[in-house]
Amino acid sequence: MSTKILIVEDEFVVANSLRILLRQAGYTVSGIATSAEEAYEHLQRDKHDLVLLDIRLNGSVSGIDLARKLKTENIAFVYLSANSSQKVLEEAKKTEPYGFLVKPFREKDLLVALDIAVYLHKNKLESKLQQEALLEKQLLEISHEDSDGKQTFLKIAKAIRTFIPFDLIVCETRPLSASRFDEYSYLRVGFDEYQFIGKEELLTISGLKSDALFKIQENSYTDTHVATYYNGATTDPVSVTPLQKIWLNTFSLESYLIFPVALSNGSWVHYSFYSRRHAMYTQSHVAVLNLFVGSLASVTAKLVHADVSSTSTIRLSADRKPDRTEDRQGSVPEFKRIIGKHPLLLAALDLITQVAPYKTSVLILGESGTGKESIAQAIHALSGQRNGPFIKVNCAAIPTALIESELFGHEKGAFTGAIEKRIGKFEQAHEGTLFLDEIGEMPLDMQVRLLRVLQEKEIDPVGGKSPRKVDVRIVAATNRNLEREVAEGRFRLDLYYRLNVFPITLPPLRERKSDIQALAVYFANRFCNEFNKNFNGISASMIDALQGYTWPGNIRELENVLERSVILNDGRSELALKQSLSGAVDKASGKVEIDTLGDVKRIQQETEREYLISVLKKTNGLIRGANGAAELLKIKPTTLEARLAKLGIQRGDFGT
């Protein structure tokens, strides 16, 4: 059965040419729509496998609006468009298209793009079904295992995490009772690492007394057994209860999802998923949990009837000192060189584990020095190509005249100086991974060649007589804003969408300052071993200075600072900071050192951040509505929320 395609294009000549071309290639063209409204009618009348969609359409509804509907109905779509503005590109990216063709395009480009889109869509559906079947199997196995309640809950949490991300998960019986308060509560403190939060610990952390906590617990009880979620906005479908406020404030959480499960004896158990990320949960998460509600009820019945007197649990002691060789990311040894437990980092690691088994292209985004190469190596190590080569190419370091030969190779005598045959990086990476670092620096003419290779899976060496097939998994990285590069004509739109199948964004060090001490200790240990010196710790004043700095050079700069500190240390005392951190505030004078354009940009960001925090404090954290921060600033709430996210401003920063 051929793939059925709907063409949504308001230029008849273009649309008709597409119809003829697709039919000749063996596709079934079910119709042509010149507007989103007309496309809606086609979609209601007939089932389609894929939609070719122009972004700019006649009528009030754009192609991007139509794409959102296609996404909710799980219909694959490929954009057709000329270069667009950065704003349009950012909106288009959010719809997660299966491809993007820039007009004008070759016939072969179209057919290859459609083949890729059909493959990706099928693979996505099959992967989703496989993951769902795996979760169903895991829950069934857990229900038959002989383990205590806390271990059972830990296994449930790990199994669900692939579908429902969280930093804190709580399992509560309803109605709640003082004897069973928070019996099964885990806080995620590292990748695959969990800490049990008991009543006494919660009392200590929150500063409440036992009777006050139980009173809050009673006031939070509700007979409503409907899944609800809260994302920190006034438009959310549920109000925050006093007990949920305790969790949110105690652990600086931003959003939660509560999912009720009915047991066979008529009682109810509520799973609460909390995240430090804003607007994490949607109705789609509720829909996923509804798929497994039967299996979840079965395993939960075992959980609530487990022997609660058992002392077996997973617990991470706050004062435990890790061994130098300790695996710092739980049970995933491929992450042992990635230090930190900040939620933004953990979210990136979650994405790595999800995408690594497939050959999907990955685009790693982040500032210089954030560890993009380490992430690329982890993706390779967790992939099916782990036994193949990992080849790195720094696109910014290769002269323009040599980049084609470097990537694709050349034959002997292909050009002046080609005294022997050379194998290019693509062939070197055959059956492995090719890491294209600084992809944003690649010249436009080479971007065209790269796009052809990605689509057709074959290369043409310089001076070669025939193309050669290659089996390579592409991981690209850049510190540039590629949407802006596309909008300004420096990066091809179709290549951007071909690479941006699965983006992973790494946070800058200034947004994960809670990891600075662990990183500093790690680097100090490493350099002390390397220089054969004893490590006697890091002075409190140095830790304070490190945490107070904004780190424009990110982890690489921190590594350099620690290497210098170890070299200057006598090996008998704690490490001390024996250098000034450029760009840091001089507390005595209140002045800021400005040496580079980067310092100017950083100061601008810090000033904007402080100003927005001051406004949010005035509105008690209210963003939307009357007297909200958006109204005071005279900007759209969505614009303000985007700025808050970009500047790393969270609820705890303005004291609500």
Q: For position 95, which CATH number holds?
A: 3.40.50.2300
Residue 232 confidence (pLDDT): 64
Residue 36 counted as domain residue: yes
In a shared domain, residues 446 and 346: yes
Structure tokens at 531: 């220089």
In a shared domain, residues 514 and 493: no
In a shared domain, residues 241 and 104: no
Q: For position 153, which CATH number holds?
A: 3.30.450.40
Distance CA 270, CA 300 (A): 10
Helices (H), 356-511: 372-381, 403-408, 425-428, 444-456, 482-487, 493-499
pLDDT per position as a tens digit, 428-461:
999 999 999 999 989 888 898 888 888 888 888 8
Q: Give the end-to-end CA distance of the chain in Å, rounded to a whole number.
A: 57
Distance CA 502, CA 355 (A): 8
**DSSP-assigned beta bridge partners for residue 437:** 394
Residue 476 confidence (pLDDT): 95
Q: Round the CA-based radius of gyration of the chain to a whole number and report it.
A: 27
Distance CA 486, CA 100 (A): 13
Query: Could you state, in chain order, the average pLDDT of each consecutive group of 10 residues for the chain (656 residues)?
Result: 86 89 91 90 88 86 88 87 74 83 80 80 72 81 79 84 84 56 63 73 72 68 70 56 77 84 83 82 84 86 58 31 44 78 83 84 91 93 92 87 83 72 88 94 88 84 81 92 81 84 89 90 93 92 90 91 91 86 47 53 73 81 81 81 77 61
In a shared domain, residues 289 and 345: no
Q: Which of 479, 507, 535 is the last residue of a domain?
A: 507
Helix (H, G, I), strand (E, B) or coil at 383: coil
Q: Taking a C-beta distance cutoff of 8 angstroms, is the pair 99, 497 a contact?
A: yes
What sign has the CA pseudo-torsion 275, 278, 280, 283?
A: positive
Bridge-based pairing state of the strands 458-459 and 432-437 = unpaired
Residue 21 counted as domain residue: yes
Bridge-based pairing state of the strands 432-437 and 390-394 = parallel
Structure tokens at 453: 């290779």
Q: Which of 89, 108, 127 is the last residue of a domain?
A: 108
In a shared domain, residues 503 and 514: no
> 561: closest CA among 596, 519, 506?
519
Residue 59 counted as domain residue: yes
Residue 140 confidence (pLDDT): 85
**What CA–CA distances, in Å, run from 313 to 273, 308, 458?**
20, 11, 53
CA 328 to centroid of chain Cα atoms: 20
In a shared domain, residues 393 and 290: no
**DSSP-assigned beta bridge partners for residue 186:** 169, 196
Q: Taking a C-beta distance cutoff of 8 angstroms, is the pair 186, 153 a contact?
A: yes
Residue 377 counted as domain residue: yes
In a shared domain, residues 358 and 479: yes
Q: Taking a C-beta distance cutoff of 8 angstroms, is the pair 337, 375 a contact?
A: no
Q: At what angle are helices 540-548 and 554-568 packed, to 10 degrees?
A: 160
Residue 461 counted as domain residue: yes
> 372: closest CA among 352, 387, 354, 342?
352
Residue 590 counted as domain residue: no
Helix (H, G, I), strand (E, B) or coil at 44: helix
Residue 591 counted as domain residue: no
Number of H helices, E strands in the chain: 24, 18
Centre a 10 Å sphere on the Cβ of residue 148 and count the other Cβ atoms it contains: 17
Domain coverage including residue 521: 510-568
In a shared domain, residues 452 and 527: no
Residue 309 counted as domain residue: no
Helix (H, G, I), strand (E, B) or coil at 634: coil
Q: How many CA atoms lie less than 13 Å away from 66 in the CB half-sphere?
A: 33
Q: Which of 507, 538, 553 is the last residue of a domain?
A: 507
In a shared domain, residues 464 and 477: yes
b/e string for 551-577 if b means 16 or more Cβ within 10 A?
bbbbbebbbebbbebbeebeeeeebeb
Q: For position 637, which CATH number holds?
A: 1.10.10
Distance CA 574, CA 262 (A): 56
Is residue 262 within a helix (H) or strand (E), and if so which, with residue range? strand 255-262
Structure tokens at 508: 């800058």
In a shared domain, residues 38 and 91: yes
Give the Cα-Cα-Cα angle 63, 68, 72 (nearest 5 degrees): 145
Distance CA 84, CA 79 (A): 12
Q: At what angle are helices 86-94 and 63-72 packed, to 10 degrees?
A: 10
In a shared domain, residues 152 and 267: yes
Q: For position 562, which CATH number holds?
A: 1.10.8.60
Number of domains, the chain: 5
Distance CA 256, CA 169 (A): 9
DSSP string, 51-108: EEEESS-BSSS-HHHHHHHHHHTT-EEEEEES---HHHHHHHHHT--S-EEESS--HH
In a shared domain, residues 61 and 87: yes
